[in-house]
Structure 1
């Protein structure tokens, strides 16, 4: 960590040249050969053909034998947590400081895995402080866009008191992220704004890992969803909707959400509606596979969770395949935190296995997230004026997509974190 603080606080004032043997033009979906990236501070100054020779006080990074790409974006992570057999007890045992220390570890692991930007879709609010600490250079980690606390209905997937005894359960409201009317939905969005969130996350249906029986029933009315999305728009937020069941998913799309997370039991009608509304599917195939595996480990999940994990987990990849083939907009997202942080890149392999072209998978984690985050002129491409977020591997990912699980080089904001 001390090396990080030194390198980050003393950001190089000199120019950095990167000689890239193969450079990805993410927008065109093409590889350029023998290119030079010229970086000033935390931004790319120019991209030039050929290996340009630096002069003076200039850093030179030789990636001539590498495939060089923009840093990846994972649009569904939970930076505060990582599921384990004790996770359901830890929320009653761990102090906020314990969660914060863990989140710092998970953030660094994520960055070193090649993900220079993430969208955090729900925690205790410590995710907001983590974002700020990273932005100030206090700790290493990806650029974070966070929803802060998720919004649920009473007993819904993100009700923070699910699984508690009657004494601890209480009656949480909009401030805690629990709403039961359009009016409370508006209030909850305003609390997220007050607390410093960047976007809004709702749980439109039941979920797999919540201590509640149903994993897919609709949990908001269309009026409640519309009140949330309309208020979110007033504050410059987009809305992500966790959804497994089709009815809750359809209401979320009709109600104006920008992304559907998981989409497990999505019908063709809902797929067509997503195409019409330009609503993106965030597949989280890795999470589906991981929870199905963990459900077979005795005691890993509470008994009420196990049948949901066994049923829902194996469905997600097949739904993704059908949605992709039908033309539903896709953006990369894994649900890291449900499984171990740092394994995010496994999602690329599962997407390709289900029929997506490798280049499209790369674009789903670069240029597409940038559009949703309103950062299309700042991240997701290696172009002049963009942040110097650069990753590299030793093989062509189009020929071996699994190589993305072995990132050799990571630069974020012009600072090298892995080489």
Structure 2
């Protein structure tokens, strides 16, 4: 039977989702997902913001964009397109499929009035050419809890901990998360159903560990923090050698935070605590007796690109007064190319086109890296990625863009 489709790119239709998603899974190795996981991602898919590239009856390219709001320096919650589910069939590489999807997607994001696009990159070298720069980093650690001690702050002993089924306290834990979102750049204000992602717990992905467990921290009868984790027991010649794998932890104050970490360090029959995706300034690092035995390392996390330079730069505040003209190069979104005068401080900012002489020159990729304050303009200049055209402008702008509070952090992938 002849196909009723014509080749090309189009917005994803609900009845095409299964073939579209199967194309995506194959591009990421082809391992099947648990039915509950697959169904949740279908529910989260925003069809009118998702693209499929067809070759006859076959989907050969996929891309989506979740509707997010991202906390930026100063605490504002800014619309951001969460670029996701991007893949190209191995049979159709080097034919311009990815470039065509990125072109269409960024045009769409601009038409939606969203000044930022963000993503997590399975292969970082792909997205730089489309203007995305690494904007946040995440901490990984493998802590020898048999030899590392914690020194906790005053008030920790007053925090009450109790076990709870993760689903039973989901609403309370989500409320804790929501209260923390405005306080740290890079955090995402979660829309309905996103809280369920954290509870996905297919046995096929546990690697021999326990089902997801949860402990909540209470103060004055109210949940003020939580930790979700798994335990994998092990035994060696010297006895127990179990591992705690932290999945998620949130706390509203230092004492609650310390109480949760102390609990994780002390779980019976375990001697290792592993974590990934934590803030680079996570407080436990300053409570431990021996940071070397924590085997910390950092990894790139959130990639960001301004879709509308002017709107993006004036959506955040600045740690110090700044008045600079930026000469921005953006080959992929040429509407951003040109000179922009940024004037701002801790109260607000404006960013308008100007004919004045430029003070700094950079591409939109470097602007994306510096935007949340996690990568300094000075460091980028040392790498030759930012050029100072007026003496003193680099130091002024670098201080202004830098963090005035917690380091930027992406709390979960998408």
With structure 1 as the length reference, what TM-score do the two structures score?
0.26
Structure number with the higher helix fraction is 1
Larger radius of gyration: 2
